[in-house]
């Protein structure tokens, strides 16, 4: 099997494990929650999960990525795994304890002192997810994609079943009070509580399923090895924190920087509409899950740099197809979420393009991991985060919530340029910039043509047909232009 086809296959498999759960979460919960939660509660939902995304890098110390490096390139898998897990266990437990004990103060800073219970629950979610990080990384490294996928899918199914039960099934019962003997019994007005508790239970279930990976661990820390692993991973912690700011803190910025009194509701609406664009982010993440170990394993192969260039082109073409499909059929895509959240649909095409550039960044930034220059990743990500913050501070008060979407796009374009220019001096990869640019221009042109079709006054069916032909035309051009990618 060819290298590119192998990567595509692994992207699909890991997509089943890491992305299919999120797709299921999107298909099952995003449409559902945007219909049962009001925009204010959904705003709180988005804000708290933004902080989870930020803190998980700190809890894990990004040792799962360091494990890849030291297990593959230095052939020290068992020692790296034991030392990494022991370190995460000690550090994440301490962090969770500090957050749990200071929940009241933290809640006052974020959403309000009445939400302290949410902070306590999330401290436990972060702890359990951190403890699962290295076992999941080991499954990826050992190519146990089916087990990896199965546990990830079970995670989202447990969460979805609990949420649907508490928000729809139990309220429909004539006398929900009979459930008071069950854990977390149903109570009217606690809808958001059940969403978070479902996540907590699902995280516990995942950890139980990973016990076979955990009970075999001999808890110890090889100080010399751990020093090397931390030297490698500490810059990646900054990368993870900066990435969270770039990817999900737009919800927080909207809630804090909008001058209107209903800023939290607007943040909730933004959070809901952004779920549609998350499809592109999921695609990029699925690729990253498969590509990271793939790039490490193929690094010493002959013509590996040419292979990386082909991978970027294939990813970009596929990503632009996703962009065109969703952006052109945006009205239909927005039906996935509740009608109260559709008024901010103008952010979706911008975020789709932003997340596509994020995926491109995953491709062209791999050089700093391969070359053990993770400090460059930290520098790029931190600079990107600074740009994100500055753009949000400037744009949101002036042009409203859409400024957050534009800030994300500006940030990721900058990060791609920074990673590309600095990478050329460290690992020469012959990216086909000219033809990639043509693909982008063609896709953007087709998108604007679709907007003209939407305003043309043609019958709705005729509009759908013409828009569909635009997507087909782009795919046909790509097939004719780069059909050799299918043979690699």
First-to-last CA distance in the chain? 9
Confidence bin at 182 (pLDDT 50/70/90): low
pLDDT value for 424? 83
pLDDT in tens, 217-247: 888 888 889 999 999 888 888 888 988 998 8
SS3 416: helix
pLDDT in tens, 266-304: 999 999 999 899 889 888 877 777 776 677 766 666 666
Q: Tell me what the mean pLDDT of segment 405-427 comes to.
A: 91
Query: What is the DSSP-derived secondary structure letter of residue 337?
Result: S
* pLDDT over 50 at 100, yes or no: yes
* pLDDT over 90 at 56, yes or no: yes
* pLDDT over 50 at 477, yes or no: yes
* pLDDT over 90 at 378, yes or no: no
* pLDDT over 60 at 49, yes or no: yes
- Choice between 314 and 69, residue whose per-residue pLDDT is larger: 314
Confidence bin at 196 (pLDDT 50/70/90): very high
Q: Tell me what the mean pLDDT of segment 137-142 comes to.
A: 84
Q: Where are the alpha helices (DSSP H) in 142-262?
A: 145-164, 170-172, 191-209, 211-214, 223-247, 250-257
Q: Residue 60's closest CA among 147, 136, 152, 1? A: 136
Q: Tell me what the mean pLDDT of segment 177-181 comes to.
A: 53
pLDDT value for 1? 45
Residue pair 418/380 in contact (Cβ under 8 Å)? The answer is yes
* Half-sphere exposure in the Cβ direction for 481 (13 Å, CA): 16
User: Judging by beta carbons within 10 Å of its beta carbon (0-12, 13-18, 19+), is residue 241 exposed, middle or buried?
Assistant: buried
pLDDT in tens, 315-374: 999 999 999 999 999 999 999 888 888 889 999 999 999 999 999 998 888 888 777 787
* pLDDT over 50 at 43, yes or no: yes
- 4-18, 100-114, 367-381: range with lowest mean pLDDT: 4-18
CA-CA distance, 111 to 107, in Å (whole number)?
A: 6
* pLDDT over 60 at 11, yes or no: no
Structure tokens at 479: 């097939």
- Percent residues over pLDDT 70 in the chain: 86
Confidence bin at 376 (pLDDT 50/70/90): confident
* pLDDT over 70 at 385, yes or no: yes
Q: Tell me what the mean pLDDT of segment 90-103 comes to.
A: 97
Confidence bin at 127 (pLDDT 50/70/90): very high
Q: Mean pLDDT over all residues of the chain?
A: 86
Confidence bin at 76 (pLDDT 50/70/90): low
Structure tokens at 31: 């449409």
Q: How many CB atoms lie within 10 A of CB 65?
A: 23
pLDDT value for 286? 76
- Choice between 469 and 29, residue whose per-residue pLDDT is larger: 469
Q: Tell me what the mean pLDDT of segment 461-480 comes to.
A: 93
State the DSSP string of 27-57.
IIIHHHHHHHS-HHHHHHHHHHHHHHHHHHH
Residue pair 176/186 in contact (Cβ under 8 Å)? The answer is yes
pLDDT value for 234? 87
CA–chain centroid gap for 316, Å, is 18
Residue pair 450/427 in contact (Cβ under 8 Å)? The answer is no
Of these ranges, 90-99, 166-175, 300-309, the one predicted with the greatest mean pLDDT is 90-99
* pLDDT over 90 at 133, yes or no: yes
Instruction: Calculate the alpha carbon distances from 381 to 52, 238, 353, 477 in Å.
Output: 18, 8, 18, 34
């Amino acid at each position: 099997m060819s290298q590119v086809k192998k990567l595509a296959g692994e992207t699909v498999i890991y997509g089943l494990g890491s992305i299919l759960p999120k797709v299921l979460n999107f298909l099952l919960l995003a449409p559902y929650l945007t219909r049962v939660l009001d925009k204010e509660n959904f705003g709180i939902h988005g804000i708290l999960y933004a902080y989870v995304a930020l803190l998980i890098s700190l809890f894990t110390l990004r040792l799962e990525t360091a494990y890849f490096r030291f297990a593959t390139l230095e052939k020290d898998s068992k020692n790296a795994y034991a030392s990494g897990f022991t370190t995460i266990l000690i550090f994440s437990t301490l962090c969770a304890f500090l957050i749990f004990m200071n929940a009241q103060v933290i809640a006052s800073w974020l959403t309000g002192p009445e939400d302290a219970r949410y902070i306590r629950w999330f401290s436990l979610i972060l702890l359990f997810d951190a403890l699962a990080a290295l076992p999941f990384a080991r499954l990826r490294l050992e190519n146990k994609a089916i087990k990896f996928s199965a546990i990830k899918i079970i995670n989202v199914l447990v969460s979805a079943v609990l949420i649907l039960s508490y928000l729809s099934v139990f309220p429909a019962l004539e006398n929900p009070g009979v459930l008071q003997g069950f854990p977390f019994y149903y109570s009217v007005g606690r809808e958001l509580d059940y969403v978070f508790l479902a996540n907590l239970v699902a995280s516990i279930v995942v950890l139980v399923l990973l016990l076979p990976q955990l009970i075999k661990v001999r808890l110890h820390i090889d100080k010399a090895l751990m020093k090397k692993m931390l030297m490698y991973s500490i810059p990646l912690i900054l990368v993870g924190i900066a990435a969270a700011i770039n990817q999900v803190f737009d919800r927080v910025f909207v809630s804090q920087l909008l001058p209107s009194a209903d800023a939290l509701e607007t943040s909730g609406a933004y959070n809901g509409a952004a779920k549609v664009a998350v499809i592109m982010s999921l695609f990029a993440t699925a690729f990253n899950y498969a590509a990271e170990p793939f790039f490490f394993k193929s690094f010493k192969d002959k013509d590996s740099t040419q292979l990386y260039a082909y991978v970027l082109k294939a990813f970009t073409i596929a990503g632009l197809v996703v962009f065109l499909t969703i952006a052109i059929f945006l009205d239909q895509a927005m039906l996935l979420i509740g009608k109260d959240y559709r008024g901010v649909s103008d952010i979706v095409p911008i975020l789709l393009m932003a997340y596509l550039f994020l995926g491109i960044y995953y491709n062209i930034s791999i050089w700093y991991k391969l070359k053990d220059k993770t400090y460059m990743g930290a520098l790029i990500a931190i600079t990107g985060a600074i740009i994100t913050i500055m753009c949000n501070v400037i744009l949101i008060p002036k042009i409203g919530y859409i400024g957050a979407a534009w800030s994300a796009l500006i940030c990721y374009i900058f990060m791609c340029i920074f990673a590309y220019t600095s990478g050329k001096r460290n690992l020469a990869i012959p990216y086909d910039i000219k033809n990639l640019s043509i693909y982008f221009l063609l896709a953007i042109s087709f998108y604007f043509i679709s907007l003209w079709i939407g305003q043309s006054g043609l019958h709705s069916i005729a509009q759908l047909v013409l828009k569909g032909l635009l997507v087909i035309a782009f795919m046909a051009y790509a097939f004719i232009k780069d059909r050799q990618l299918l043979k690699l």
